[in-house]
Amino acid sequence: MLKPVILSSKSVLLISFILFFIFSGCVKEESPENVIVGEPYQGGVVAYIFQPGDAGFKEGKTSGIIIAPSEDVFRSQWGCQGASVGGTSSDLGAGRLNTERVLAFHDALPDFYNNPTQCHPANDGTVAARVTIGFNLGGYNDWFMPSLEEMNYLYDNRDLIGGFSTDEYWSSCETNATNACVMSFVTGEQLSMPKSEERRVRVIRFF
């Protein structure tokens, strides 16, 4: 019968250091300075790297936009057709605030999610912003719907990013009480569609 081996505290400490160096050498540290558009990074795919003059550019630091993988695209209505959220912007850097504003508006309606036809007979209670705020991909939970300007950056790099459909995608921007903004990643055309229509959503985050 084998006797159990009792290790001294020094031996345990030495083994711990050895295992640490072995396994730490196997882990690839993510470095933002080395990221490339189209490559996986921080829960999604690098979609754009901010350049001098961009609203999100940070001197001496690599930063940009990450887009959710194509398999995490979802379909949803934009929200309440017939009521204006107000205050959304098409600018770069506005996507997150837009998304939060749209969600807060629908949360404040009288039981919209269970009684969506109070807005329009075609409303089914789904709100793209609500699904977006609940996203958790790769350990990151700060995803949001892109503004139109942010979508322009995605469109410019669409071939490197990959995974776009011929269907239009919702933006976080509102046009008016009836419509919200969509974009075609085939033509780059930006349109206005009824909020109660179902469209694709591919969320983003900044790094």
Query: Using CA atoms, how far apart are residues 199 and 162, in angstroms rounded to an integer?
Result: 18
Taking the C-alpha atoms of residue 151 and residue 47, their distance in angstroms, rounded to an integer, is: 10
27: helix, strand or coil: coil
Look at residue 75 and give its three-state secondary structure: strand
CB atoms within 10 A of CB 196: 23
Q: Domains of the chain: which residue ranges?
A: 70-137+145-202
Print pLDDT tens along the chain (207 aa). 444 445 454 443 344 434 433 333 333 345 667 889 999 999 999 999 998 888 778 888 889 999 999 999 999 999 999 999 999 999 999 999 999 999 999 999 999 999 999 999 999 999 999 999 989 998 999 999 999 999 999 999 999 999 999 999 999 999 999 999 999 999 999 999 999 999 999 999 999
List the structure tokens of 52. 């001098």
Cβ contact 74:200 at 8 Å: yes
Here the tokens at position 30 are 């993510």
Closest of 149, 145, 114, 147 to residue 131, by C-alpha: 145
pTM of the model: 0.81
Altogether, the residues listed in the chain come to a count of 207
Q: Work out the widest C-alpha separation in the chain, in whole angstroms.
A: 80
Could you tell me which residues come within 8 angstroms of residue 122 by beta carbon, excluding any fewer than 6 positions away? 81, 194, 196, 197
Structure token digits, residue 121: 């007979």
